[in-house]
Homo-oligomer: A and B are copies of this chain.
Amino acid sequence: MLQSQLFTKTRKDAPKDEVAKNAELLIRAGFIHKEMAGVYSYLPLGLRVLNKIAEIIRREMNAIGGQEVFMTTLQSKELWEKTGRWSDEKVDNWFKTKLKNGTELGLGFTHEEMLTAIMAEEVKSYKDLPRYVYQIQTKFRNEARAKSGIMRGREFMMKDLYSFSRDEKEHEAFYKKSQGAYMKVFESVGLGEKTYLTFASGGVFSKYSHEFQTLTSAGEDLVYICDKCRIAVNKEIIEDQKNACPQCGNKKLREEKAVEVGNIFPLGTRFSDALGLKYLDEKGESKSVVMGSYGIGLGRLMGTIVEVFADDVGIVWPKEVSPFAVHLVSLAGEDAKVKKSADALYKKLTSQGIEVLYDDRDARAGEKFADSDLIGIPVRVVVSAKTLEKDSYEIKDRKTGQTEIVKEEVLLKIFR
């Protein structure tokens, strides 16, 4: 894409009320626009990142048998009364609205109720199970405070998967499998090394649920890491665990600040009992379906990536989620030969399916370099009179800052 055509520009300052580093950088670089606290629109660069994260999640959910759906935001009161979650006293972050005839509706903050009701129409026999259903869809949560940028939104995109199993054993097998899929997601977006499977409170139906916690000073949570098992325990249950690792009993746990980038939760038969989701087993006996829920907030993941990797001059995208693979910067000025060379390279790269942001703007070198650092595409390629003299290009690694002068054939190999 030609940067001269991109409708967003970088800016010096984020809105004054913005206190989160992730949102501040993303706004300054033109990835998002703040509509109000906790409510952000995604602009072209930001949407590209969000879509890449979505595709990685989709790939891993499909790989463990997930079937994708797209449920609605509008929720009927009757459905939620059946599980006792309609009242604002029970759930304190509902957004509610009304039909013209006065019927009260809610805006979905999660979708257990709706999907369980759908499945109750589809599942009759043990042959219809297990099933795994997910969506990537906008959630609404009426947070009293929303100060963490895109890491805690009032409106945000979430992947929520729900599992429907015949019994605890079948549930448990998928629950384990989902942990592997989740780790693959976090590895793919570049957060693998910093992300820990974390033991959390399990609710009524299970001793534990699990979170995936990514270490960062921007985190709102505290976790306790067992380096032997490479797992963590969250603050909520660390005392119950007597400050020891639930797997190996290790008492030398390391306290770290972290952000919860995903969570998986055994639901037992709470929702299937309340909403009549039963099946006939091999003997013709009616049984309740055993459920689990599995969430990843896409904006939170994107915000965490920004928080973890950003440096003093801007964002640093891991290549898997970068809006573009290359930032091609032309320092042509009035030099037609440089412009021609940069245009040709842009054409060649894009024709090979490489995603290029091409800074073809008429601007000073310093401004272009500062913008490039702020936007954070992993590889920068500079074309200038100086590089042309050597019949080469300058490439710079955004993360390490290392530069190199390379010939075209070497350059093209980098992106293969």
Which A positions have Cβ atoms within 8 angstroms of B? 5-9, 33, 35-36, 39-44, 47, 50, 65, 67-76, 95-101, 105, 107, 114, 118-119, 121-123, 128, 131, 133, 138, 140, 142-144, 154-155
Contact = CB atoms under 8 A, between A and B. Distances in A.
A6 B155 CA distance: 31
A40 B96 CA distance: 18
A100 B74 CA distance: 19
A105 B143 CA distance: 14
Contacts of A50: 70
Contact of A70 (B42, B70, B98): B42
B69 A47 contact: yes
A74 B44 contact: no
A147 to B, nearest CB: 14
A93 B44 CA distance: 29
Nearest to A101: B144
A36 B365 CA distance: 57
B95 A70 contact: no
A69 B95 contact: no
Given A74-B36, A114-B41, A144 B100 contact: yes
Contacts of A33: 118, 121
Contacts of A74: 35-36, 39, 140, 154-155
A72 B39 contact: yes
Nearest to A362: B127
Given A7-B119, A133-B7, A43 B72 contact: no
Contacts of A73: 73, 138, 140, 155
